[in-house]
Each structure stands twice: as C-alpha cells, then as structure tokens.
Amino acid sequence: MKRSFSAALAALSVFAFAPAVIAQATATQSESYTAPEGAIEVFTPMRDETVLAGNLYLPEGEGPWPCIVTRTPYLKDARYGQPGAGDRYTDAGFAFLVQDVRGKGRSEGFYRAFIDDGPDGYDTIEWMAEQDWCNGRVGITGGSAMGITSNLAATYDPPHLDAAYVIVAPSTRLTGSYIGGAFKEQDSGGWSRRQGISEEVIANTARNYPDSAYWSNTEIGDNRRFIDIPMYNYGGWYDIFNEGNVRNFQYLQNEGRDGARGNQRLTMGPFGHGPLSGDLAYPNGGGLGVLTIEGVDQELRWFNYWLKDIDNGIMDEAPVQAYMMASARTDELSDQNRWMSFGNWPPAPNYSEYYLHPNGSLSTRAPSGDEMVSYEFDPENPVPTFGGANLTFERGPMDQRQIGERGDYLRFETDVLTEDVMVAGPVTMQLYAATDGPDTDFMVKLIDVYPDGYEAIILDSAIRTRYRNGREPDQIEMMTPNAPVELTIDLWDTAITFEEGHRIAVHVTSSNYPRFDVNPNTGEHPSDAETPRIAQNTIYMTEDRPSAIILPIIYDPN
C-alpha cells in the first residue's frame, strides 16, 4: 500500500528536566488582554484554586462537541496566537483548548517543570467535560513538552479522557537530562544556561540521577500502569525521546489496563528533534509535523474513531508502522528505505550477538582466547560529539570519521557484508570492562559503515559505572580498581537494513562531549572535581568475558 508522510516540521521545542523549582508568578484575566483571533480565553480552576488560562476554539454551528486539549509551557499566545490556529481541529468538528500550564503565560501559580501536570491535566479534562460546549468526550494531544503533559495527565486516569495522541515524548523525565547516569551537558546544561538558570542549579541537576521520592510523582514509566485509554505514539529513530514512544507503546499494548491493552498505535519515522545533520536523507520519511498516510491526517483520524465513533478502519490496520532505514546518501538513495507494517514491537526478531575482537573485527564468532584492549581516558581531552540523538546542536547520522584516529576510541567492524542484515527492535551492548579507579564512563555507538568509509551513527548510549547495577540508593556502587564487571548498555530501538557492501561497526570509548559531561574518574561528580585523573580503561574480549552487541535480526517478509 502506497504511503506518504508529511514532512511539515512543527516547532516542537523541548526543555531541560531541571529538578530545581523555577518560580514564576503570573497574572490572569487582565482587562487589557485581547485573545488571538478566533479564540475565546477561558479560565480553569484547579483543585487548589489556582486558575489556568486557555484559548478555546469552537466549531461553527450548534454544540456540544467532542473536545481536544493541549497543555503547553511555551505560551498559548506565542504558539497558537496566529489566525486560524485552531482551524485544523474545529474544521473537523472538535472544540480545541490550548492551555498555559501552571506558572506560564497567563496562568496563575508557580512553574515547576512537569511536577503539577498530572493533577492539573486531570482537573482541566474534568472541567472541560462539564462545560456546555463539550459533550463529555475529551482527547489530549501534543508533542515534546506537550506530549509529556499529555502522558502525565493520562497517568492520573481522568474519567472523561477517552484517547490521546502523543508525539516525541519520553517514558521517563530522566532521558531529558541523563543517559545511563551521564548528564547531557549540551542539551540539558546548555539549554538551561540559555534560560538564565544558574550554574549552581545546573550542577544540582547533574547530581540528581539517583532515584528518590522526588521522581515518583512524575515518572511516566512507573505510573503508566494507571493509563486506561487508547494512545497513538508517533516518534523518530533519531529523536531524543525515541525510547519513550516505543516503550510506552510496548507496555500499554501488551501489559496495560483493559482500556489500553490492544488499543495502541505506534509510528516511528527516520527523523530527529529537528532537521538531521550529515550527508544522509531518508526519502518519504516524515518529520515532527502532521502525520499523514495516503493524505489522511492520522491524528484527526484517531480522534474521529475514539471520540466520534466513526469506523474509519484505523483499528483494523497493523498496530505498528516503522520506517526501515537503509543506505541513504543524498546522491544515492536505496529503494530499501521504506515503511513497513508490524503486528507488534519488536517484530519477533532473532537476537544475534556480534562479538568484539582485539584485532578490531566484529563477528558472530565468539572469542576463544584471553585477550583484552586497554586505553587511557583523559578527561581533559574528551572525544568530540558528532551527531546522534541531540536537541540543541547537530543531530542524526553524521560521519564519525571526523573523530579521527585516537587511542581512546576503539572501532570494531564486520567484514564487508555479502548479504543484507535487517535489524528491527532494541539494541543492547554487553560490555565486560574494568578501570583502575573508582568510577568512569563507557560510551557505545552502533555504526553503518558505507562502502566509501562514511561512518553513519545509528544509535549511541552511555553508562556511568557507579550506576551499573541501577540508580536506587543501595544499588549505586563504585568500581573496584582493575576488577572486570559486566555492563549492560541500552542503546534503545531502531529499524535499519545494513546493506550488502556495507559493514556493521561498534565504537567504544569513554567520553562523548558535549553530548555528555565528562567523568573525572575520581568518584566525584564532574561539577565537583577539582583534579580529574587519567583512567586506564580495559575492554575484555575473552572466552569467559565476551563483549558483544546484541542485534535484533528480522527477515524481510516481502
């Protein structure tokens, strides 16, 4: 079936998940205020009597109508202030409300990033259901920050919330600021600095990865067991929240409550949180905009089904639409770049280990010797970042050859492939490693090596070794110097065909700056360390400690 996906990019800015409270008292109901053209400003009381402001757009004719809400920290009048901002929904017969979250724009209160959005979302939805312009059926929608507010509202299980449509949103607030315990220096730290947040607050954010009661109220992954509605998740393979759309879908579709289980949809395209950098461009791949299939707006189709009982066939289709990436040099696109349909995710792959070998090879043959490779990691000379799942700087499948040859950057690659290798699902690295100090980092990348040598980054991840057993207070443990440990590194999910003539590669190092802060190797937090030390880090590739990347292999159903 022919498919086309709109590439109209929406300005879905994101945020840093700073644990610190950001206070902002705001005024409402100013007599001098004029609502945007076509909108009626309405005020919604919360359970604590704080009043939130929203712009309401109504269809022509007689109500009541089914209603859709989006809740934004990015100011309703800035993002939805232009004429016709609500037409897409009202022309389809929905009342549409865009609301400033607590402490933002014209809403009262104090802004605490995502802390209040569960109960505030609940109160807003239930208030809407009681208005004379609402028929009692409510949906919630949004991307990025608005996707998070949507997910948090759904975890509170409002009785009148019937469906949600979520674009690029995480399963945990953690992934906005940390990967494997390493702080996302450029995206979280740099973004916060541009918002005027102090270095003291940013340093406190970087320290806040260990689990605590602070996280419990707003952890979508912990609280999604309370979600009881159909949700459509739309995400990108290079997006900073890749894991959220995929894993929220997985849980709700297969383990969710009765109203959620079996009623989910997932679409994953080859895009990031903004335009991709590098020399690759995926044809017909969509983006962070309105998703259309065969010219039909899928969000409106979703809400037509669940809020209007229009049997448009959306629930008769395969639950998962995933873009299978392949060779995508801008001047030589492969016809293997295509959309595929699956009954679930992951699509029943065969997990295959590709083992690291001391000579730099990567193969399905397990090591039989007792060799290992060591390198010096100097925190004052970190490996630079080129691409990956970034927000505020270059992102996507950039060429890793720019890093050059370094003693602390290990490359492992297969022989030239004689047949295609199709990967679809979660990618995991089992790394056996040691360090000569109390703490260090290990970074892993999955790379598609083109015939001309272009090293396209597909996935990358990190682990701060003190968090190797978990982030619960009793799980955090410093390393024993020179004692090897097994590290499990989650690289998230992808769908890519490594084509004949290419190579599969794994790159291992201990820094990736400014994507991540740099571990001082002293056991201190990076912001506290006055004298970083050079670490001697060792990767094991032995018979009893075989480091390997685990790839989910599928076979082309066509």
For residue 21, the model assigns a pLDDT of 39
Q: How many helices, marked H, and strands, marked E, lie in the chain?
A: 10, 27
What is the biggest distance separating any 2 CA atoms in the chain, rounded to whole angstroms? 79
The mean-pLDDT minimum among 95-104, 174-183, 362-371 falls in 174-183
Q: Alpha-carbon dihedral of residues 114, 120, 121, 127, nearest 10 degrees?
A: -170
Q: Alpha-carbon dihedral of residues 462, 465, 470, 471, nearest 10 degrees?
A: -90
Domains defined along the chain, listed by start: 40-172+219-342 (3.40.50.1820), 350-554 (2.60.120.260)
Written as one string, the DSSP assignment of 40-104 is EEEEEE-TTS-EEEEEEE--SSS--EEEEEEEESS-HHHHS-STTTTHHHHTTT-EEEEEEPTTS
Q: 396, 394, 404, 400: which is closest to 496 by C-alpha? A: 396
Residue type at 501?
Answer: G
Q: Per residue in 491-541, pLDDT tens?
A: 999 999 999 999 999 999 999 999 999 999 999 988 888 899 999 999 999
How far CA 427 is from CA of 80, 326, 351, 446, 553, in Å, comes to 39, 17, 9, 9, 10
Q: What is the mean pLDDT of residues 161-166?
A: 98
316 CB burial (10 A radius; 0-12, 13-18, 19+): exposed
Tokens coding 344:
């679930």
Q: What percent of the chain has pLDDT over 70?
A: 94
For residue 240, the model assigns a pLDDT of 95
Tokens coding 266:
């997932």
Does the structure show a pLDDT above 80 at 244?
A: yes
For residue 197, the model assigns a pLDDT of 74
Q: What is the mean pLDDT of residues 102-123?
A: 94
Q: How many angstroms separate the CA atoms of 288 and 445, rounded?
A: 24
H or E stretch including 161? strand 161-167
Q: What is the mean pLDDT of residues 237-251?
A: 97
Tokens coding 457:
């980054």
pLDDT bin (cut points 50, 70, 90) of residue 28 is: low
Does the structure show a pLDDT above 60 at 542?
A: yes
Name the strands in the sheet holding 410-413, side by side, starting at the edge strand that comes first in the sequence.
410-413, 503-509, 441-449, 455-464
Helix axes 145-155, 117-129, angle to 10 degrees: 70
Across-strand partners of 67?
95, 138
The mean-pLDDT minimum among 25-39, 51-65, 339-353 falls in 25-39
pLDDT bin (cut points 50, 70, 90) of residue 14 is: very low
Non-local (6+) Cβ contacts of 450 within 8 A are 327, 329, 456, 502
The mean-pLDDT minimum among 7-11, 31-35, 505-509, 523-527 falls in 7-11
Does the structure show a pLDDT above 50 at 116?
A: yes
Q: How many angstroms separate the CA atoms of 502 and 139, rounded?
A: 45
Q: How many angstroms separate the CA atoms of 187 and 391, rounded?
A: 6
Tokens coding 394:
């270059």
Non-local (6+) Cβ contacts of 225 within 8 A are 255, 256, 257
Which value, in Å, is the radius of gyration of the alpha carbons in the chain?
A: 24
- Is pTM beyond 0.85? Reply is yes
With vertex at residue 238, the alpha carbon angle to CA 154 and CA 180, rounded to the nearest 5 degrees, is 75
Q: Per residue in 248-258, pLDDT tens?
A: 999 999 999 99
Does the structure show a pLDDT above 90 at 190?
A: no
Torsion over CA: 361, 414, 397, 324 (sign)? negative
Tokens coding 46:
């919360």
Q: Answer for the pair 463, 180: CB distance below 8 angstroms, yes or no.
A: yes
pLDDT bin (cut points 50, 70, 90) of residue 16 is: very low
Q: How many angstroms separate the CA atoms of 526 and 546, rounded?
A: 31
For residue 386, the model assigns a pLDDT of 98
